[in-house]
């Protein structure tokens, strides 16, 4: 004789697992009303759903940036799903926030190390599979970055679409506000390095080669090309390296000059920028 499954039992399991009403009813029927067995059934179903969705693109999601209370460490993590609808769901955002908290507390070095950590008593990689089953979309972690230093400021831009970490050289008065201003600059201007020393040699060579070709194409003599190309390279550094960029909030200053005005010698030691789907 089959066990009678009440609507309140189905609702209880639904509240507990977040799975759909029909899935919960089927799980309780299969488990003869045993809640623990029904949860296991749903988890197994989730794993099966996850496996069948591995070929799906999960390009939506959220980017969470956080720093420790002492401001010495910051992390930024991108947690993905398939649709904008799920990305805006409060439960999905709460899951991403929890993953970010675990990352901040344990400071793993890579995405793989982060997925091997535990959250609410479950390994994160398994939790992602389980949530794929509950939500019905492929849930994954695609990016993870960490910055440590004297003062690390975390900033989330555009409704969880982009996260920035800024590592400043000193925890001086006004560093929080200055760090946020610099983070907003990084979000808007997407610099490729802190200063010209951080630009790799291949990029420099490519920029010089492009500049020389442009100059010769304009009909200028080849002997002038080297000098003009150097000028173009300096302009490239000014536009693409953080400390040399014009400060968006005050174009009369570079970022280096702005930081120096906050506190003499204050500068950026590291930064990370994670944009959703980029």
Domain edge (last residue) among 113, 148, 183: 148
pLDDT of residue 47: 60
pLDDT top residue among 207 and 58: 207
User: pLDDT confidence of 51, banded at 50, 70, 90?
Assistant: low
Say yes or no: 28 and 64 in one domain: no
Instruction: Please report whether residue 188 resides in a domain.
Output: no
Instruction: Please report whether residue 158 resides in a domain.
Output: no
Say yes or no: 61 and 48 in one domain: no
Instruction: Please report whether residue 241 resides in a domain.
Output: no
Say yes or no: 86 and 101 in one domain: yes
pTM reported for the whole predicted model? 0.80
Domain edge (last residue) among 148, 163, 193: 148
Say yes or no: 15 and 72 in one domain: no
pLDDT of residue 54: 64
* Whole-Å CA distances, 108 to 47, 130, 160, 252: 25, 22, 22, 40
| Cβ count near 107 (within 10 Å) | 13
Instruction: Please report whether residue 92 resides in a domain.
Output: yes
Determine the Cα–Cα distance for residues 187 and 273; give it in Å rounded to an integer.
Answer: 7
> Which among 253, 272, 106, 104 is positioned nearest to 187, based on CA atoms?
272
Q: Are strands 151-157 and 250-254 parallel, antiparallel or unpaired?
A: unpaired
| Each residue's pLDDT tens digit, 107-117 | 999 999 999 99
Say yes or no: 42 and 61 in one domain: no
Determine the Cα–Cα distance for residues 147 and 152; give it in Å rounded to an integer.
Answer: 7
Say yes or no: 48 and 61 in one domain: no
User: pLDDT confidence of 255, banded at 50, 70, 90?
Assistant: very high
CATH code of residue 78: 3.30.479.20
Instruction: Please report whether residue 70 resides in a domain.
Output: yes
Say yes or no: 45 and 69 in one domain: no
Say yes or no: 17 and 71 in one domain: no
List the beta bridge partners of residue 254.
246
Instruction: Please report whether residue 99 resides in a domain.
Output: yes
> Which among 86, 91, 76, 81 is positioned nearest to 59, based on CA atoms?
81
What's the total number of domains in the chain? Answer: 2
| Each residue's pLDDT tens digit, 123-142 | 999 999 888 888 888 899 99
Say yes or no: 89 and 11 in one domain: no
Q: What domain range is 140 assigned to?
A: 57-148
Instruction: Please report whether residue 175 resides in a domain.
Output: no
| Each residue's pLDDT tens digit, 142-182 | 999 999 999 999 999 989 999 999 999 999 999 999 999 99
Long-range CB pairs of 88-95 (<8 Å, 24+ gap) are 91/18, 92/62, 92/135, 92/139, 93/62, 93/160, 95/131, 95/139
Say yes or no: 99 and 143 in one domain: yes
Say yes or no: 15 and 88 in one domain: no
Say yes or no: 92 and 112 in one domain: yes
Determine the Cα–Cα distance for residues 200 and 31; give it in Å rounded to an integer.
Answer: 60
Instruction: Please report whether residue 24 resides in a domain.
Output: yes
CATH code of residue 21: 1.10.8.10
């Amino acid at each position: 004789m089959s066990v009678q499954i009440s609507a309140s039992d189905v609702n209880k399991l639904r509240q507990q697992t977040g799975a759909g009403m029909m899935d919960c009813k089927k799980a309780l029927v299969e488990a003869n009303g045993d809640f623990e067995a029904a949860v296991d059934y749903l988890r197994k179903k989730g794993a099966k759903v996850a496996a069948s969705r591995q070929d799906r693109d999960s390009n939506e999601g959220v980017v969470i940036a956080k720093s420790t209370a002492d401001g010495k460490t910051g992390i930024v993590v991108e947690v993905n799903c398939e649709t904008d609808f799920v990305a805006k769901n409060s439960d999905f955002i709460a899951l991403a926030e929890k993953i970010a908290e675990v990352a901040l507390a344990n400071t793993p070095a890579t995405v793989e190390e982060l997925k091997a950590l535990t959250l609410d008593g479950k390994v994160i990689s398994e939790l992602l599979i389980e949530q794929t089953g509950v939500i019905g979309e492929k849930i994954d972690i695609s990016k993870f970055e960490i910055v440590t230093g004297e003062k690390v400021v975390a900033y989330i831009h555009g409704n969880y679409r982009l996260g920035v970490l800024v590592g400043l050289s000193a925890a001086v008065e006004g560093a929080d506000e200055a760090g946020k201003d610099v983070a907003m600059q990084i979000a808007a201007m997407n610099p490729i390095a802190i200063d010209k020393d951080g630009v790799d040699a291949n990029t420099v060579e490519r920029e010089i080669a492009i500049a020389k070709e442009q100059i010769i194409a304009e009909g200028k003599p080849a002997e002038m090309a080297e000098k003009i190309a150097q000028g173009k390279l300096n302009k490239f550094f000014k536009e693409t390296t953080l400390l040399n960029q014009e400060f968006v909030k005050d174009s009369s200053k570079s970022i280096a000059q702005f930081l120096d005005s906050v506190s003499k010698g204050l500068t950026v030691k590291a930064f990370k920028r994670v944009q959703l789907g980029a």
